[in-house]
Each structure stands twice: as structure tokens, then as C-alpha cells.
Amino acid sequence: MTTPSTSTATSTATRTLRLGTRASQLARTQSQTVADAITAASGLPVELVHISTEGDRSAAAIAQLGGTGVFVTAIRQALLEGTVDVAVHSYKDLPTAPEPGLLLAAVPPREDPRDALVARDGLTLGELPAGARVGTGAPRRVAQLRALGLGLDVVPIRGNVDTRMARVVPGDLDAVVLARAGLSRLGRLGAVTETLDPLQVLPAPAQGALAVECRADDERTLEVLAALDDAGTRACVLAERTTLAALEAGCSAPVAAYAELAEGDDGPELYLRASVTALDGSDGVRGSATGPVGDAERLGREIAADLLDRGAADLMAASR
């Protein structure tokens, strides 16, 4: 009688986690990073399952599709139905309301959340001439770029990272603005001509962060994913997303929020900045708040209330 080898016995007992992801190159790259981290932490193999979402299938602007949830609904449905065990999203694509039956199991350490300029001839934002055509897919970026008063012609665009960058040289645009995190994950940082200071262009809530979800009753997977969670990133993103939720704004609204960890007199603190800008750049409100890391939600609510007191609701309504 032949005794099974240890490796064979182990592989038979080991389950494979099915990870749901969009099929774009960036989504697959992000999800593979999470898959590798799961395997490193638990020894479990992970299989990527590509899922087509409404946002992937339509060429319409995200705002025209309804904005919130167009890149995540199909993946969440697959998770609820048991087709996949884990879902990975760009956190900023998630609706602010929780999804019944699912839990945010992990928020891994995020990439640099700032925006990046990819311009012809190595130009920076300030070096682009008046009338230069700058492409971006986000109303938030459109509004903030126009608010800088540089005389730029800001053009709404869609498409994946390479498609957008290809429109610069020798294309029809002088520059595009993209999330630096996506360029980093794809190994495209060499194309960046300037990383934009948040004082100029404040990032979107949760930009650069990933959200890893699983079913609320799947205790084994929850335990595995807990090893991927970064408490600092989770706190920062919670403050940013609470601001967005309290403003009752969707992910396609011209809302920005950016929280950073800083060392305070009594330990680590959160420094949160947020803004709402009119789509034409003619007006905007900004605010900031600082407090203990454990008060992330309170800080988000307070800064949202301050922005609403100063006219944020009217600015968002005018931008729809």
C-alpha cells in the first residue's frame, strides 16, 4: 500500500479561494497583489475570476450611468451568490452605504493617493500654456483644475490607463491627469511629469486604497483576510469616506477628501482635509480637522457639516 506524500495530502486538503475582479489590466494587477498577499499569509492558493461590470461594458460617462456602484455591483452579486469567495475593489468605487451580507474584511496599505500629470514634453501643470487640452475622467479633477485659473481646456475622457496616456503623444491632448497609485501599480511612474500637490488638487476619498470584501458569514475567509488589514489606512479612508457619506455625495461628485496620519502631542492623530468645488471652477469650499485616530468618523462628519454650512450642497447641486 502506497502512503500519500505530505505535499499531495496537503494540496488535497487545501481549498482554493476564488477572487472576483474586473478584467482591466489595472484591476487584475491590483487583485493579483491581494491574491499574492493572501497566499503569503495563509498558504492558500487563489484563483482570479474576471467579472464584467456595467462600467466596463458602457462607453458612457460614469456620471451618466449613475456613478455609484457601476464598477462593483456585479462583483458583489457574484460574492453573495457564492460564485467567488473574495472581492477586490478600488475603494473609491464603492458606494458609501454598506452592502447587506458582506463585510469589508481588509483594507491593505494604500499607494500614494495623490494625482499625477502625464504631459507632453515633460511639462508640469504650471508650464502648460493657456488653452492646453488636459484630459481627465473625474468631475472632481475637472472642477479643481479649472479652479486653478490656469486657462486650461479640461476635457472629460474615459478609457483605461494606457488608452488615456496614448492621447497625449502624439494624440489630441497636451496632458492627462490620472491617479498616481494606478500608474505605480502598472509600472508607469516613468511617464509622470508631475505629482500634484494636494494644495492644488486634493485627492478623491479613498484614492489609492483597495477594499477586500467577503461574505459576512464566511468566518474562515474573514480570518484569512484579517492579516491583510492595515489599521492606519483603514482609519484614514474611514474619515475620508465618512465625509463623502455625510455630504450625501456619490463617487462622481466634485468632492475631495484626504486624511493623513501625523504624530500629535498624545500619540498618532488624523489630519483630514476636504473640499467641494463647482464644476466650472468658479467657487469652492475647503476645510480641515485634526483628531485622534479613533475619531475618524467624527472628524468626517464634522468637516462635512462645516462644508455644508458654507454652501457645499449648492455647489454639488449645480454640478449635477
**What distance in Å separates the CA atoms of residue 215 and residue 220, rounded to the nearest whole number?**
10
**Per the residue annotation, which of 36, 56, 85, 93 is the catalytic one?**
93
Whether domain 115-195 has CATH 3.30.1540.20: no
What pLDDT score was predicted for residue 171?
Answer: 81
145-196 pLDDT per residue, tens: 999 999 999 999 988 899 999 999 888 999 999 999 999 999 999 999 999 9
Give yes or no for a contact between 143 and 278, defined as CB atoms under 8 angstroms apart. Answer: yes
Evaluate whether 6-108+209-229 and 115-195 have a shared fold: yes
Question: For 78-85, which contacts have Cβ atoms below 8 Å and span 24 or more sequence positions?
Answer: 78/20, 78/49, 78/51, 79/20, 79/213, 79/214, 79/215, 80/215, 82/215, 83/18, 83/20, 83/49, 84/18, 84/19, 84/20, 84/49, 84/51, 85/17, 85/18, 85/19, 85/214, 85/215, 85/218, 85/221
pLDDT at 131 over 80: yes
Give backbone dihedrals phi and psi of 268, rounded to 5 degrees, phi first.
Answer: -60, 140
Q: Is 93 a catalytic residue?
A: yes
pLDDT at 104 over 70: yes
What pLDDT score was predicted for residue 14?
Answer: 72
What pLDDT score was predicted for residue 170?
Answer: 84
Task: Please tell me whether residue 30 adopts helix, strand or coil conformation.
Answer: helix
Q: Which three cell numbers stand for residue 312?
A: 457645499
Can you give the residue ranges of every domain in the chain?
6-108+209-229, 115-195, 233-319
What pLDDT score was predicted for residue 251?
Answer: 66
Indicate the CATH number of 6-108+209-229 among 3.40.50.300, 3.30.1360.30, 3.40.120.10, 3.40.190.10.
3.40.190.10
SS3 letters across 208-236? CCEEEEEECCCHHHHHHHHHHCCHHHHHH
Instruction: Judge residue 291's burial from the number of C-beta atoms within 10 Å of its C-beta, 0-12 exposed, 13-18 middle, 19 or more buried.
Output: middle
What pLDDT score was predicted for residue 54?
Answer: 65
The pTM score is 0.89
In terms of CATH architecture, what is 233-319?
A: 2-Layer Sandwich (3.30)
256-308 pLDDT per residue, tens: 999 999 988 888 899 999 999 999 999 999 999 999 999 999 999 999 999 99
24-82 pLDDT per residue, tens: 999 999 999 999 999 999 999 999 999 987 655 445 444 444 455 677 999 999 999 99
**What distance in Å separates the CA atoms of residue 78 and residue 51, rounded to the nearest whole number?**
8
